Structure 1
Amino acid sequence: MVYLDLLTIGIWNTAQPSRLVVPDASLHSINSMKDVLELMNIGQMNRATTVTALNERSSRSHSVLTVHVRGMDLGTNTIFRSCLHLVDLAGSEQVDRSEATRDKLKEAQHINKSLSALGDVIFTLAQKSQHVPYRNSKLTQLLQSSLGSQAKTLMFVQLNPDNASYSETISTLNFC
Structure 2
Amino acid sequence: MAGMIITVAYEAKGKRANHVFDMKATNRDVYEQVTKPLVDSAVSGFNATIFAYGQTSSGKTHTMMGSKTERGVLELVVNEIFDAIESNPDREYLLRVSFIEIYQEQITDLLTGSTRLKVSDAHNEVVIKELSEEMCSTPDSVIDVMKKGEKLRHIACTNMNERSSRSHTIFRIIIESRSRCETGSDEIAIQLSHLNLVDLAGSEKVNQTGATGGRFKEGCAINVSLSALGKVIDQLSKNERHVNFRDNKLTHILRNSLGGNARTAIICAISPASVDETLSTLR
What TM-score does the superposition give when structure 2 sets the normalisation length? Answer: 0.57
Q: Deviations over 1:128-174 (max 9, x none)?
A: 11100001110001110110012100111221123xx1111111111
Q: Look up the match of 2:191.
A: 80
Displacement of 1:92 in angstroms is: 0.3
Separation in structure 1 between the aligned mates of residue 220 and residue 212 of structure 2, nearest angstrom:
11
Separation in structure 1 between the aligned mates of residue 229 and residue 212 of structure 2, nearest angstrom:
25
> What is the 5 A alignment of 1:66-105?
66-75=172-181, 77-105=188-216
Q: Look up the match of 2:91.
A: none
Unmatched tracts of structure 2, length 5 or more: 1-96, 108-115, 183-187
Q: Look up the match of 1:140.
A: 251
1:3 has 2:99 as partner: yes
Q: Look up the match of 2:128.
A: 22
Q: Look up the match of 1:45.
A: 151
Closer, same or farther: CA 58–23 of 1 in aligned 2, 3 Å: farther
Q: Look up the match of 2:119.
A: 12
Richer in strand (by share): 2
Aligned partner of 1:160 among 271, 277, 280: 271
Displacement of 1:73 in angstroms is: 3.1
1:122 has 2:122 as partner: no
Percent of paired sites with the same residue: 36
For residue 134 of structure 2, give the secondary structure of its aligned residue in structure 1. Answer: coil
Displacement of 1:33 in angstroms is: 1.2
Displacement of 1:104 in angstroms is: 0.8
Displacement of 1:36 in angstroms is: 0.8
1:54 has 2:163 as partner: no
Contact 2:156 2:166 in 1 (8 A): yes
Contact 2:126 2:255 in 1 (8 A): no
Tell me the matched-pair count.
Answer: 171
1:173 has 2:269 as partner: no
Q: Look up the match of 2:140.
A: 34
For residue 81 of structure 1, give the secondary structure of its aligned residue in structure 2. Answer: strand
For residue 92 of structure 1, give the secondary structure of its aligned residue in structure 2. Answer: coil
Displacement of 1:58 in angstroms is: 0.5
Contact 2:102 2:169 in 1 (8 A): yes
> What do you get for the CA RMSD once the two structures are aligned?
1.6
Q: Deviations over 1:62-117 (max 9, x none)?
A: 00000000112345542211110000000101122111111111110100000000
Contact 2:119 2:253 in 1 (8 A): no
Q: Look up the match of 2:7.
A: none
Separation in structure 1 between the aligned mates of residue 219 and residue 143 of structure 2, nearest angstrom:
29
For residue 268 of structure 2, give the secondary structure of its aligned residue in structure 1. Answer: coil
Question: Which one-letter code corresponds to 1:133 in the other structure?
Answer: N
